[in-house]
Amino acid sequence: MPASSVLGRRIVLWARALFAALGLASGILLLPRCTPWAIAVAAAFLILSLLLPFRKSSHGGAFALMVLFADTVFFLVLVAAGIGGVFWLPAFYCLYLMGEAVFLYRPPEVLIVAVVSAAFCIAVQSENVFLVRRTSLLMGALAYAFSVYKKKLELRMEQIARQAAQTRADALRARETERQRIGSDFHDGPLQSFIALQMRLEILRKLLERDFRGGMEDLADLQNLAQQQVKELRAFVRSMRPLDVGGPNLYASARRICENFQKESGIPLTFVGGEGSLKLPDEASSEIVQMLREALHNVLKHAGATRVAVALEQVGKALELSVDDNGHGFHFSGVYTLDELELLRLGPASFKRRARALNAEMTLESRPGRGAGIKVRVPLP
C-alpha cells in the first residue's frame, strides 16, 4: 500500500477519536440538557474510536461497513441531541463523515450515507438541525459526485496499468523475436562464412606442406572468399542500423538501401519508386524496409546474380514491393503464394513471417538457372 494511503487512513482513524472525545465532552458540559442515552452513545463511540487505530486491518469487508454505520449513527446523535452545537461540531463532523466515505468507500456506500444523513436532517424539526441541514445536503451531493469521479479515475488507472503491462509484454516479445532473428541471420550468414574460412585455412595449411605452388593458388581463392565475407558482414551490420522510415521517407529509405547495395556489391540495380507520402504506420514501414534488406542480402549471398531490379510503388490501396534477379534461382521451379510456401516449407522463413505480420499477399517465382522474383502486396490503412 502506498505511504500516502497509509497516512490518510491514520489521519481518518485519529480524527474519528478526536471527534468522539469532543462529542462526549460537549455532551457532559451540556448536562442536564443532554440526555443520558446520547452521552452513552458518545462514550461507546469514543471507546470504539480508540480501539480502531490498534487493529491491524480496520478497512474492508463487513467490519468496515459496521464502522461506517457507527460513524453515521454518531453524526445523527450529534444532530438530534444538539451536542457541540455552539462550536459547530455536527457541521464539522459532517464534513469528516463525507470525506471519510469518499476516501475509503465505494459510490453506493457514499450515496447511502449522504441520503440517510440528509433525510434525517430534513425530517427532524429542531433548532439544533437547522445549522447542519444545508451542510448535510451540500456535502452529501459533493461527496457522491467526488466518489463517482474517483471511481472513474480508479478504473482509468487500472486500464492504464493493464495497457502498460501489455505494452511491456509486447516489448519483451518483440525484443526476443528480434534477438532470435538476429541470431538466426548471423548464424546463417557471417558465422557460416567464417566457419568455411576456418576450414579452408586448415586445408591450405596442409596443402602448403605438400604443394607450395598449389597452396598459393588456393590462397588467392581464399582471399576472394575473405573479401566476399567482408561484404556480407558489412551488409549484415548495415541491416542493424535504424533508418528513418516514417511515412513519406519510406521511398527515400528504400532508394538509399538499393544504392548502398549496388555500391558495395558491384551488382547493377534498377530501382523504381513512388513519390509523395504514404499513410503507413512506422512499424509496417520498418518491416517493409527489413524485407527489402533481407531480399537483397539473399541475392548477394546465394543468387550469383549480375542484375537486380527493385520496385516499390503504391498500386490502388496497397503498397507493392518486388525484387527480381537473374541469378541461380531456388532449387524448385514455379510460382507460389504465401500459403503454398508455408505448406511446402519453401522460401525464406523470416520473409514469410514478416509478410504474415503485415497481413500482406506474397508470391515467389523461382526460375532455376535464370533467377528468381519475389513480390509482396501490403494493404494500406
What is the residue whose three cell numbers read 451540556? 30
209: its cell numbers: 606442406
DSSP3 helix / strand / coil % (the chain, rounded to 5): 70, 10, 20
Q: Which residues of the chain fall short of a pLDDT of 70?
A: 1-5, 31-33, 56-61, 82, 84-87, 125-131, 178, 181-182, 184-193, 209, 214-215, 231-232, 234-248, 276-279
> Could you report how far apart the first and last alpha carbons of the chain are, in Å?
44
Rounded-to-integer distance, Cα 345 and Cα 28, Å: 91
pLDDT of residue 39: 80
- What pLDDT is stored for residue 348 in this prediction? 76
The CA radius of gyration of the chain, in Å to the nearest whole number, is 39
> Which grid coordinates belong to 260?
548502398
What pLDDT sits at residue 347? 78
371: alpha, beta or left, given left = phi > 0 and alpha = psi -120 to 50?
A: left
CB 53 within 8 A of CB 13: yes
DSSP 8-state assignment for residue 55: S
- C-alpha distances (whole Å) from 103 to each of 117, 130, 147 are 18, 27, 8
Contact predicate 96/54, CB 8 Å: no
Q: What is the DSSP string of 54-71?
A: GSS--SSHHHHHHHHHHH
pLDDT at 125: 67
The answer to whether the CB of 71 falls within 8 A of the CB of 98 is no
Task: Provide the b/e sequence for 11-41 (b: ≥16 CB within 10 Å).
Answer: ebbeebbebbebbbebbeebeeebbeebbeb
pLDDT of residue 163: 87
Q: Residue 130 has what pLDDT?
A: 65
Give per-residue pLDDT as tens, 123-160.
Answer: 776 666 666 777 777 877 888 888 898 889 889 999 99
Burial class (CB in 10 A: 0-12, 13-18, 19+), 151: middle
Strand order, beta sheet including 371-379: 269-273, 308-315, 318-325, 371-379, 361-367, 334-337
Between CA 40 and CA 46 the distance in angstroms is 10
As a whole number of angstroms, the distance between CA 19 and CA 90 comes to 9
Please confirm whether the linkage preceding 32 is cis (ω < 30° from 0). yes
Domains located in the chain, CATH noted: 3-165 (no CATH), 245-381 (3.30.565.10)
Question: Does the predicted model carry a pTM greater than 0.75?
Answer: no
> Amino acid identity of 16?
R
Q: How many CB atoms lie within 10 A of CB 223?
A: 10
Distance of CA 179 to the CA centre of its chain: 19
Q: What whole-number distance in Å separates Cα of residue 289 and Cα of residue 291?
A: 5
What stretches of 5-44 adopt beta strand conformation (E)? Answer: none
**H or E element: which one contains 37?**
helix 36-51
Longest alpha-carbon distance in the chain: 127
pLDDT of residue 252: 81
Q: Which amino acid is at 39?
A: I
| Phi then psi dihedrals of residue 17, to 5 deg | -65, -35
Distance CA 352, CA 362 (A): 8
Which ranges in 127-211 belong to alpha helices (H)?
A: 127-186, 192-210
